[in-house]
């Protein structure tokens, strides 16, 4: 079917695998580990990459290909490779790009597991990492060394919802001939396209808003064709590939990403505004609140503010504990980007293993709460938080 796929929503819905002889409307699930060949010559030519086709699901699979094609269209990327989880995407991207003796400059506020890779595993491969504080981006250039390979950034950050200026980072990378690698998980491709601002590679944990219903894990890296080719070669050997079933779920979910994310953001904005006026809340961070320190940058590079709100309950650890113990409807969980609103305490969960000074630099205080705002009626979400704050 020929479709004029001009808009994000249309790309998300009309990017589809080829229809089979059954003329199905909804894409079938290709649960197969391997694919068959007509003869020895076809097999030889396919393995020699003279012929483009699926060989083995560790390399590619029709469901995975469809998911990758959709995310590439949404991000404006040339190519991509899909992974079993967001961390598989992060690790495989790093492992492909970096050699022993290389150096990375990263924002100090990154996801706890990513930080764990930098601190626990990079040193044993003689790879160094220098961190810049989110509020001191002017120090970035001073951290660059002759062996620096790329700048790594998350924006908005997990869990502090800080915002980094992608165009600014890209200018530094171009000046020093470095790659810019961005974890775009919190924004989703609907809200922000880092490639437009100069990123070379964009990583997603598809487990979050891409799935949107807390069902499956997945990850993806998209970007420049020649870099993805290297990531593909590494991954087809090492096997962190996305399963066809998860790819099918994720590709279906992307069809509704735009409408879901619009509503998540509307609810998050209302909740952030409520929290900002609450006497028991010390501070609130949400990219589209005027009080956010990087409000202008968020407005410049994001369509809406996202679904994550960070705030601090008055009364330190004890105030935080009382609040968590009195939540009735929202889920106490470490995931995010679900239809269900999730309340997390980063200091004791996702970032528990992060050193105190790094936690401080990332703005993670003992009383800090991260809320992944869901799709329940916003009045019910507010009511639940209101009654927990009243205790």
Ligand X SMILES: Cc1ncc(COP(=O)(O)O)c(C=O)c1O
- For ligand X, the binding residues (CB under 6 A) are 85-87, 90, 111, 113, 154, 158, 183, 185, 205, 207, 217, 219
Q: How far is the CB of 138 from ligand X (least distance, A)?
A: 24
Q: How many residues does the chain have?
A: 391
Rounded (5°) CA angle 252-254-255: 70
In this complex, which beta carbon is closest to ligand X, that of residue 90 or of residue 202?
Answer: 90
Q: How far is the CB of 185 from ligand X (least distance, A)?
A: 4
In DSSP notation, 289-329 reads STTSTTHHHHHHH-SS--SEEEEEETTHHHHHHHHHHT--S
Q: How far is the CB of 250 from ligand X (least distance, A)?
A: 11
Do the Cβ atoms of 337 and 254 come closer than 8 Å? no
Non-local CB neighbours of 56 within 8 Å, separated by 6+ positions: 33, 34, 35
Residue whose Cβ sits closest to ligand X: 86
In this complex, which beta carbon is closest to ligand X, that of residue 82 or of residue 388?
Answer: 82
In this complex, which beta carbon is closest to ligand X, that of residue 111 or of residue 248?
Answer: 111
Non-local CB neighbours of 36 within 8 Å, separated by 6+ positions: none
Q: How far is CA 52 from CA 17, 100, 141, 227, 237, in A?
A: 15, 33, 42, 19, 18
Q: How far is the CB of 44 from ligand X (least distance, A)?
A: 37
In this complex, which beta carbon is closest to ligand X, that of residue 11 or of residue 338?
Answer: 338
Omega prior to 159 cis, within 30 of 0 = yes
Q: How far is the CB of 318 from ligand X (least distance, A)?
A: 27
DSSP H/E element including 360: helix 356-361
Omega prior to 308 cis, within 30 of 0 = no
In this complex, which beta carbon is closest to ligand X, that of residue 193 or of residue 207?
Answer: 207
In this complex, which beta carbon is closest to ligand X, that of residue 354 or of residue 389?
Answer: 354
Q: How far is the CB of 27 from ligand X (least distance, A)?
A: 23
């Amino acid at each position: 079917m020929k479709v004029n796929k001009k808009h994000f929503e249309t790309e998300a819905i009309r990017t589809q695998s080829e229809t089979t002889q059954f003329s199905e409307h909804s894409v079938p699930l290709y649960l197969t580990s391997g694919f068959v060949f007509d003869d020895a010559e076809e097999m030889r030519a396919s393995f020699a990459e003279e012929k483009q086709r699926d060989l083995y699901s560790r390399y590619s699979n029709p469901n995975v290909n469809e998911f990758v094609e959709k995310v590439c269209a949404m991000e404006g990327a040339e190519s991509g490779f899909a992974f079993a989880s967001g961390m598989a995407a992060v690790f495989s991207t790093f492992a492909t790009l970096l050699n022993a003796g290389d150096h990375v400059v990263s924002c100090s506020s990154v996801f706890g597991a990513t930080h764990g890779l930098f601190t626990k595993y990079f040193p044993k491969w003689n790879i160094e990492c220098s961190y810049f504080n989110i509020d001191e981006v002017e120090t970035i250039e001073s951290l660059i060394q002759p062996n620096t390979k790329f700048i790594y950034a998350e924006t908005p950050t997990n869990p502090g919802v800080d915002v980094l200026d992608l165009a600014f980072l890209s200018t530094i990378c171009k000046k020093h001939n470095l790659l810019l690698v961005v974890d775009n998980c919190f924004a989703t491709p609907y809200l922000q396209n880092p490639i437009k601002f100069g990123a070379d590679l964009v990583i997603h944990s598809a487990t979050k808003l891409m799935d949107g219903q807390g069902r499956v894990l997945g990850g993806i890296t998209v970007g420049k064709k020649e870099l993805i080719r290297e990531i593909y070669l590494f991954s087809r050997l090492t096997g962190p590939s996305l399963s066809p079933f998860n790819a099918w779920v994720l590709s279906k979910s992307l069809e509704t990403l735009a409408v879901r994310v619009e509503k998540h953001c509307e609810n998050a904005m209302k909740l952030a505004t409520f929290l900002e006026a609450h006497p028991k809340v010390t501070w609130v961070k949400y990219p589209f609140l005027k009080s956010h320190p990087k409000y202008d940058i968020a407005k410049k590079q994001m369509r809406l503010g996202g679904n994550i709100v960070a705030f601090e309950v008055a009364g330190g650890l004890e105030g935080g504990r009382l609040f968590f113990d009195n939540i009735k409807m929202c889920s106490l969980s470490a995931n995010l980007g679900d239809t269900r609103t999730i309340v997390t305490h980063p200091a004791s969960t996702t970032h528990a293993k992060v050193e105190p000074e790094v936690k401080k630099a990332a703005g993670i205080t003992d009383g800090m709460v991260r809320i992944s705002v869901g799709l329940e009626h916003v009045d019910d979400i507010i009511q639940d938080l209101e009654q927990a704050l009243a205790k």
